[in-house]
Structure 1
Amino acid sequence: MAEIFASKTAEIEEREVINAQISRKLAGECMVLLENDGALPIHTKKVALFGNGARATIKGGTGSGDVNTRNNVNIEQGFQNAGIEVMTTAWLDRQEQNTSAAKAAYVQWMKEEAARKQTSELAVMFDHPYKEPDCEIITINDIDVSETDTAVYVIARNSGEGADRFDEEGDYRLYPHERGNIHLLAEVYDKLIVVLNIGGVMDLSEMRSIAGVNAILLMSQLGNLGGDALLDVLTGKVNPSGKTTDTWAENYMDYPSSAKFSHNESVHDEMYEDGIYVGYRYFDSFGVKPLYCFGYGKSYTDFEIKAGKISVEGNEIQIPVTVKNIGKIYAGKEVVQVYYSAAGGVMEKPYQELAAYQKTKLLAPGETEEIVLKYQAEQMASYSEKEAAWILEKGDYIIRVGNSSASTKVAGVIEVCEDIQTLKAKNLFALDVALNEIHPDAVKLEEKKKEAASYQAEKIIFDTTAIAQKTVVYQGMRKEYHTDKTDKITMQDLLSEKATVEELVAQLSTEELAEFCVGTLRADGGEVVGNASYTVPGAAGDTSSVCKESRGIKNMILADGPAGLRLQPHFKTKKDGTLLPGGEVMGDAYTPFNPNIDEKEVDNYYQYCTAIPIGWALAQSWNTELVEKAGDMVGSEMEQFHVDLWLAPALNIHRNPLCGRNFEYYSEDPYVSGKIAAAMTKGVQKHRGKGTTIKHFAVNNQEDNRYFVNAHVSERALREIYLKGFEIAVREAQPLSIMTSYNLLNGIHTANSHDLIQGMARDEWGFKGVVMTDWFTSQDMPMITGKFKPAYPISASTGCIYAGNDIQMPGCQKNVDDIVEAVKTGKEIDGYKITKADLQFNAANVIRVVARTM
């Protein structure tokens, strides 16, 4: 009988209450105050509340990023809990009736479409996500009965995996009724506050032009106590201290990737012609003025930031900064940001790049804090494709300090007197097609850098001998493991160091090795997503238990994220522990229990988890200590429910605002992304035997046709932008796992890329964990892989083994059979030849991580 760890009581656990309050506290620092003319914080006992997010508040995105929580506090409830009377319930009732009817119609259509296509409801939901209808029109009568001078309008937008957003009304842009409603409210209320309950950047240029919009607050999506957290900020109980982690453009087409992004041109081939010029690197370098710059956010108070004398200790650059709260009423936190403008040399450089940041403690009015920001000089190196090396080119490096990318002041200049090759590598990612990358006017860009610096700041000569030059050693041909030991080696022998992993693996048959490299969905017969584990229903999958009885090697349980564990909240078993069907849930897809079940013959179990703020919101806190606490909280729930690997955090780059999964990714900037992912990993891995799975490795920046899109990216752009965050997370936190992405990279599926997985992650960065595929990567399942006719083949099971992609999830028998046949016959299958040494290498990686989770 399988051991089950869920609770048998439906009552709220103390853990849920405590963790929800922790999440609420975290959420307070994640909100970004975009505009405020003094309307916030509010001091009213009555409010006119409108908008599609007022009652149907979104806690987080859809798909694997969703969390099945017990309850969610919406914004209307947040006002009520704060003792503020909502005067517009009649309008909210009409709005709810409208949206409920639209949702019911969608669910009915989804069921019918699934039946018609003989596919799953989940597949239909991914391909055709639900879209909220336009809002109800606000009438003069709605305004007359409100009896208040303060209106709050909540704009909600949802998104998720499987589909990208659109530059159209009701998505990236305002709905017509939203536009009209805001115009009306701006005319009749003294104070109009717009709250953005959204998971990604949207067009605010039109709203900014409406006279009478007094404040705009980026709430984002904050988990299951979002309404309470929002009121903490609206009422001034918490002073917002979030900063944008993206550049908000005046117009969508201002982003250099927009014209050709995803469905705007082709879902089959994505040409990364923007190169290294992503986000603020583009806007600053090409002189395009944004609506809101990167790192921007207001406060209820004001701060004074003064940089002291820069110093260099060895290869570490140190910038002392004094921060003072110069306001008179509110305590607050400030984010100090350090940027550098790299010297223009053989390689062109962006105008500036983020090098370090730190959030202050809570400063009372008049209070001062002195901090020292530090970073390694190697961070300022650029990757030379010609030299296949990271090079710190000679010249002046201008150091800037401020509280946003547009508000910095020059604090000093570091002069590098000769080129320094910091790391000798090899080019790993040859382009499969010609790529016409954009380039700024180099002369004007260098003049802009020098003009801003004026060269009045103190110049420090950098000691070029302070950097130890390194050369990467890459793995050669894998060698087969052998052992003379005849006694059966077990996991206990590994843990007691009586034997090595290599010796154990050498005793395993080809069939057993193949089983270790494939997940278990084929055996358990679970649903498409979730229910792949009997002991933790709703978990995304298990690793193999092929040697559980014979050698004590347990199967690891893997649960989705990244805004908390996504488990099945309610399930039933027979008295002997046999799991009964029903209760599986993912978004709008739900499998009901058999209505004829005799409740006397079954046991009921409950697994309610905490929804934390989405990844985008957490990053906007710019608070790595806070994010580490969030990870610590998730790790505690992993312990309770016996989950081994959390399939999070996700840290792909916000290359374009229409990517459907930007809500769970962090930023347009790789440094912010890497630091936040590292903090989350450290928090989770404080718990013995628990680990994270950083994903999606790599360039998963498009959801339409995600299984088959070919991303064409230059080597330099990959290393400096799209892989850098992963590198930071690996080097600083050593996550137990990495998940590859679905897409191809320069003609090769990332799951089949030896150079990406072995050459980059393991050889260059020193990754020591296990690599797994995303779900159904190497399984030909048209109902899962989407509505687009693919232009490229699916990822190969044999290619995963060749690349060092250790586990193929959730697994199918064909994966195992192909691997066994390829190893035993030496035949090329699906384009790859693999050996027993390759298979042993992968299985050994799995077993090492299993040992760390015991």
Structure 2
Amino acid sequence: MQDKIGVPIEGFAAFSREVAAEGAVLLKNEQQVLPLKKGEKVAIFGRIQYDYYRSGTGSGGSVNVSYTTNLKDSLKETQMLMIDETVDHLYMDWLKAHPFDNGGGGWAAEPWFQQEMPVDKEVIDLASKRNDKAIVVIGRTAGEDQDNLAERGSYYLTEREEGLIKQVSESFRHVIVVLNTSNIIDTSWMMRFKVSGLLYSWHGGMEGGRACSDVLVGKVTPSGKLPDTIAHRLEDYPSNANYGGKAENIYQEDIYVGYRYFETFNKQAVQYPFGYGLSYTTFEWRDELLRYDTNEDRLSFSVTVTNTGSYPGKETVQAYVSLPQGQLGQPARELIGFKKTELLEVGAETTVSFDVSLAALATYDDSGVTGYKSSYVLEAGRYLFYLGRSVRELYELEVEGEPFTLKTTRLVAEQEEALAPVKAFKRIKPGERQANGEYRIAYEDVPTRMVDLQSRITARIPAEIQKVENQCYTLKQVAAGEVSLATFTGQLTDEELAILVRGEGMVSPLVTPGTASAFGGLSDRLVSLGIPVASCADGPSGIRMDSGHKATQVPIGTLLAATFNPELVEALYRFEGKELRQNEIDMLLGPGINIHRHPLNGRNFEYFSEDPLLTGVMAVSNIKGIMASGAHATVKHFACNSQEASRNKVDAVVSERALRQIYLKGFEMAVKNGQVKGIMTAYNPINGHWSASNYDLNTTILRKEWGYRGIVMTDWWAVMNDPVFGGPAAASYTDHMLRAQNDLYMVVNNYGAETNQSNDQTLKGLKTGTLTRAELQRSVQNILSFLMEAPVFNRKQVFRDHVGFIPETSAIEQEVTPLPEHGRVVIQSHASVTIEIKKTATYRLYAEYVSQGEDLSQVATAILLNDVNVATVQANGSTDASIEQKLPKVSLAKGYYQMTFADVKPGVSITAVTFQAL
């Protein structure tokens, strides 16, 4: 399939347009200002109508696309509206002098917002006389290593944006605001201005402009629902007081995240509730009784939905429970299920049914107050069930027979203490219930760690596989059942085992150009044993190839969650899986499934929701879609990546109960329901232990409790610390990583897995006792097991380390530089240079470069010879230090070659290229 690399899958973009439209959330629609009617005259304000955002920034949004769409052009494409040309021309002229600001193109350099054009009140007044309606488009971005801030131009509108909405709403009778944002932003201004319509279009990928247009003109009836609570004030979010620390974040709100907090303690703070979203049509519900199967411990209920309006549409039915407060304390409402109807024509009806396991309602007791410490329990008391259109629009289900009540507390699953905090702190819980139905906030001490980690780890070290001497068993023999995996692993030397737990990248020349890493058979000996080299690429909203190759960019995670349609998301990611296979990529580094703990987390756009069930369901759909097409997903970031500021330092100080019920729940569902085979740990520590070397996270809970059978990899250039004693962290502590059963270090430099032996602690740990050979073998077996299931195992291995012959050229229009004897060609500011090759040979390329930026920045420049891409130089920040990077081999005949450079991600400056004849 090499000729198909960089060619997007046919139909993928068109389907992503459907998904993007379904995830748009309509929050206000007074006087039925939407949909826009055929022939209506519309003035569009806001530069983002042209510079429409398709994704957030960083690795989760870096997809090279064949084209992109914006809102203004997409609305014109419909040929339904008369768009005000005077206003349009004003913007077009202004944009020529004020182009899109990408911050220089470096990592995390793009600003949160784009400078807005000032618009005179006279222009707006005249436009109001010519047009029926006005649209104001507001855009925001944020992303990896770039949190939002509580300031204008980020979470809040700029003065110019706010002034624009104010003036337009004063002049026009009907005003629609479109929010093309990666995260929720402040919308308190809706209480001050006369805005008739409010639509969150989010970031819809490369077809986002057309998808938003489809909703505005009524081609698609909106059916999206909010995956997060929108509060009146940022200060109202329960995590706000403890968010953004540089050293630690105390999760004092505990399980009361998002609507769990607001519905329990502070309903008045909510502007738009979780699960809320309007439609152009109306629906009538007829409910049935809730039934309980005492033999199976299952609940079942259903509702009949009829479209009683004037437009075809889809409805989402949401199911919630109110658990007895008991001794543990509970949120007033918890989502326990949701179903979306198919498209219902006017007058059509359908029945939506729910089947819920009683065990799924269990709560984790980390204190023992129920008598069942470290266990999931169902507390005694009455259980109330609700159906509704949002967490606020609910009606209580009538139970068949007596009210559903448990007379005694029931043990559901006994576990063992794991990941409990070492720092003492207090968490909130419901106190006295007030007259308005809300609870006063009370506080209780969080149970701290009691388990002896050293004893736990020592007792569970696996048995060593004895060495198998002088054998050359192949991995194909293992797959065929001729040799056991243990026997195959036993023939590997310590050095070979150490190579297998290292990944190379970014932009490894051994795999698909421009992807995130290569891992597996990274030495000639390992290749000879049939161990393939697998490839993984950044995601989750499309394949990132920093080689200039093209892929399809799909909507962001928040938008996908807003669809409340797991079947649709699964179908979308079947396309993604096909595109991965076509590009010979084995794993997508996605989905991201961290919880939206706070609106300012810049990476929320990659994640789904504040709710763990919605997060888990969407994750499973994503995974199943990719795997159905034969590729693999990698859920990330395991766990508690709740902020990007100080993301590789800030300690998540969180209770065991909150971890299990909120922050790990989506990962558990991905493992148990999605059968995911790849997990990426987070940069941050959890309760003093970095995620990448956290034993209880990666072994006790993930492997032992959940039964996970895949690989665990670090995030790129992560740090680790001692899994028992904590303490200082460093990227070299791979012995600690492997002891925790994080299998794969991502990443060492290209060609570094074999030569990097002295730069990490893997082999040193074997000598000092901080790692056993058995633990190293355990992780290698995890990796080998995955490789036998990966697409690469059954496709012809193509090693792209050798480019092959490049056609020479005789048409020389500039000064020629003869290749010096030492082969080093000095480059001046990426200016092209024509070199003369006097000897036909194969040459190994080396590049010298400098790169500004942070350690975790990721920038890349492609090197082309006679317009053929022969290598990509990927870099992190190196301040002013000059770095040499080994590159692929290329065969060149005698002749002339023009060397040019193309910035894939600006920020790296190549100062010299060396051609070493082989």
Normalising to structure 1: TM-score of the pair? 0.84
- Give CA-to-partner distance per residue, 1:5-31, whole Å, 9 cap, x none: 5559xxxx6x54511111111112110
Aligned equivalents of 1:702, 1:316: Cα separation in 2 = 38
Quote the offset at 1:486 in angstroms.
5.6
Q: Residues 792, 435 of structure 1: CA spacing in aligned structure 2 closer, same or farther, 3 A cutoff?
A: farther
**Aligned residue for 1:404?**
390
1:268 aligns with 2:244: no
**Pairing partner for 1:793 from 729, 739, 759:** 729
Letter in 1 for 2:230: W
1:658 aligned counterpart, secondary structure: coil
1:769 aligns with 2:710: yes
Aligned equivalents of 1:7, 1:692: Cα separation in 2 = 19
1:316 aligns with 2:298: yes
Where does 1:600-679 land on structure 2 (aligned, <5 Å)? Answer: 607-679=549-621
1:224 aligned counterpart, secondary structure: helix
Aligned equivalents of 1:649, 1:326: Cα separation in 2 = 37
Aligned equivalents of 1:102, 1:129: Cα separation in 2 = 7
1:330 aligns with 2:308: no
Letter in 2 for 1:504: F
Where does 1:127-276 land on structure 2 (aligned, <5 Å)? Answer: 128-139=109-120, 140-141=122-123, 144=126, 147-211=130-194, 213-262=195-244, 266-276=245-255
Aligned equivalents of 2:184, 2:113: Cα separation in 1 = 17
Quote the offset at 1:151 in angstroms.
1.0
Quote the offset at 1:180 in angstroms.
0.9
1:425 aligns with 2:415: yes
Q: Residues 238, 71 of structure 1: CA spacing in aligned structure 2 closer, same or farther, 3 A cutoff?
A: same
**Aligned residue for 1:505?**
489
1:196 aligned counterpart, secondary structure: strand
- Give CA-to-partner distance per residue, 1:641-673, whole Å, 9 cap, x none: 000010000010000000010011000000000
**Aligned residue for 2:74?**
78
Aligned equivalents of 2:773, 2:612: Cα separation in 1 = 37
Counterpart contact for 1:681–1:733, Cα < 8 Å: yes
Counterpart contact for 2:620–2:669, Cα < 8 Å: yes
Counterpart contact for 1:98–1:136, Cα < 8 Å: no
Counterpart contact for 1:277–1:350, Cα < 8 Å: yes
Quote the offset at 1:207 in angstroms.
2.4
1:663 aligned counterpart, secondary structure: helix
- Give CA-to-partner distance per residue, 1:54-77, whole Å, 9 cap, x none: 000000111111121111011111
Counterpart contact for 1:60–1:614, Cα < 8 Å: yes
Aligned equivalents of 2:654, 2:154: Cα separation in 1 = 28
Where does 1:345-360 land on structure 2 (aligned, <5 Å)? Answer: 345-360=326-341
**Aligned residue for 1:750?**
691
Counterpart contact for 1:769–1:845, Cα < 8 Å: yes
Counterpart contact for 2:473–2:529, Cα < 8 Å: yes
1:697 aligns with 2:638: yes
Letter in 2 for 1:49: I
Aligned equivalents of 2:651, 2:678: Cα separation in 1 = 24
**Aligned residue for 1:491?**
475
- Give CA-to-partner distance per residue, 1:260-296, whole Å, 9 cap, x none: 311xxx2221111111110000001103320000000
Gaps in structure 2 of 5+ consecutive residues: 440-455, 722-726, 794-918
Counterpart contact for 1:389–1:423, Cα < 8 Å: yes
Cα RMSD of the aligned pairs, angstroms, is: 2.3
2:411 aligned counterpart, secondary structure: strand
Counterpart contact for 1:28–1:238, Cα < 8 Å: yes
Counterpart contact for 1:5–1:536, Cα < 8 Å: no
Q: Residues 519, 44 of structure 1: CA spacing in aligned structure 2 closer, same or farther, 3 A cutoff?
A: same
Quote the offset at 1:823 in angstroms.
4.2
Counterpart contact for 1:518–1:816, Cα < 8 Å: no
**Pairing partner for 1:846 from 761, 764, 783:** 783
Aligned equivalents of 2:116, 2:607: Cα separation in 1 = 28
**Aligned residue for 2:904?**
none
Gaps in structure 1 of 5+ consecutive residues: 108-120, 450-471, 522-529, 571-606, 781-790, 828-832
**Aligned residue for 2:850?**
none
**Aligned residue for 2:540?**
562
Aligned equivalents of 2:675, 2:419: Cα separation in 1 = 24
Counterpart contact for 1:802–1:834, Cα < 8 Å: yes
Q: Residues 734, 442 of structure 1: CA spacing in aligned structure 2 closer, same or farther, 3 A cutoff?
A: farther
**Aligned residue for 1:362?**
343
Aligned equivalents of 2:161, 2:38: Cα separation in 1 = 24
**Pairing partner for 1:435 from 415, 425, 430:** 425
**Aligned residue for 2:823?**
none
Q: Residues 271, 372 of structure 1: CA spacing in aligned structure 2 closer, same or farther, 3 A cutoff?
A: same
1:810 aligns with 2:747: yes
- Give CA-to-partner distance per residue, 1:428-475, whole Å, 9 cap, x none: 1121222221223244499669xxxxxxxxxxxxxxxxxxxxxx9998
Aligned equivalents of 1:98, 1:429: Cα separation in 2 = 55
Letter in 1 for 2:637: H
**Pairing partner for 1:684 from 613, 620, 626:** 626
2:271 aligned counterpart, secondary structure: coil
**Aligned residue for 1:300?**
280
Where does 1:706-721 land on structure 2 (aligned, <5 Å)? Answer: 706-721=647-662
Report the more deviating stretch, 817-826 or 657-666: 817-826
Aligned equivalents of 1:61, 1:381: Cα separation in 2 = 36
Quote the offset at 1:806 in angstroms.
0.5
2:47 aligned counterpart, secondary structure: coil
- Give CA-to-partner distance per residue, 1:114-133, whole Å, 9 cap, x none: xxxxxxx84xx33x542334
Aligned equivalents of 1:232, 1:540: Cα separation in 2 = 35
- Give CA-to-partner distance per residue, 1:323-375, whole Å, 9 cap, x none: 11121x10110100000011121211111100010001111222111121122
Aligned equivalents of 1:664, 1:294: Cα separation in 2 = 19
**Pairing partner for 2:466 from 482, 490, 502:** 482
Aligned equivalents of 2:98, 2:773: Cα separation in 1 = 57
**Pairing partner for 1:724 from 654, 658, 665:** 665
Aligned equivalents of 1:792, 1:152: Cα separation in 2 = 53
Counterpart contact for 1:32–1:298, Cα < 8 Å: yes
More helix per residue: 1 or 2?
Answer: 1
Q: Residues 719, 741 of structure 1: CA spacing in aligned structure 2 closer, same or farther, 3 A cutoff?
A: same
Letter in 1 for 2:414: K
Aligned equivalents of 1:215, 1:557: Cα separation in 2 = 46
Quote the offset at 1:82 in angstroms.
1.0
Counterpart contact for 1:5–1:535, Cα < 8 Å: no
**Aligned residue for 2:363?**
382
Quote the offset at 1:482 in angstroms.
2.7
Aligned equivalents of 1:143, 1:224: Cα separation in 2 = 34
Aligned equivalents of 1:534, 1:809: Cα separation in 2 = 15
**Aligned residue for 2:49?**
54
1:227 aligned counterpart, secondary structure: helix
Aligned equivalents of 1:406, 1:815: Cα separation in 2 = 58
Q: Residues 5, 388 of structure 1: CA spacing in aligned structure 2 closer, same or farther, 3 A cutoff?
A: farther
Quote the offset at 1:480 in angstroms.
0.7
Q: Residues 793, 815 of structure 1: CA spacing in aligned structure 2 closer, same or farther, 3 A cutoff?
A: farther
Letter in 2 for 1:27: A
Letter in 2 for 1:561: G
**Aligned residue for 1:100?**
99
How many residue pairs align between the two structures?
743
- Give CA-to-partner distance per residue, 1:488-515, whole Å, 9 cap, x none: 2111101211112221111100111011
**Aligned residue for 2:833?**
none
2:272 aligned counterpart, secondary structure: coil
Relative contact order (alpha carbons < 8 A, sep ≥ 6): 1 or 2 greater?
1
Letter in 2 for 1:296: Y
Quote the offset at 1:742 in angstroms.
0.2
Counterpart contact for 2:595–2:611, Cα < 8 Å: yes
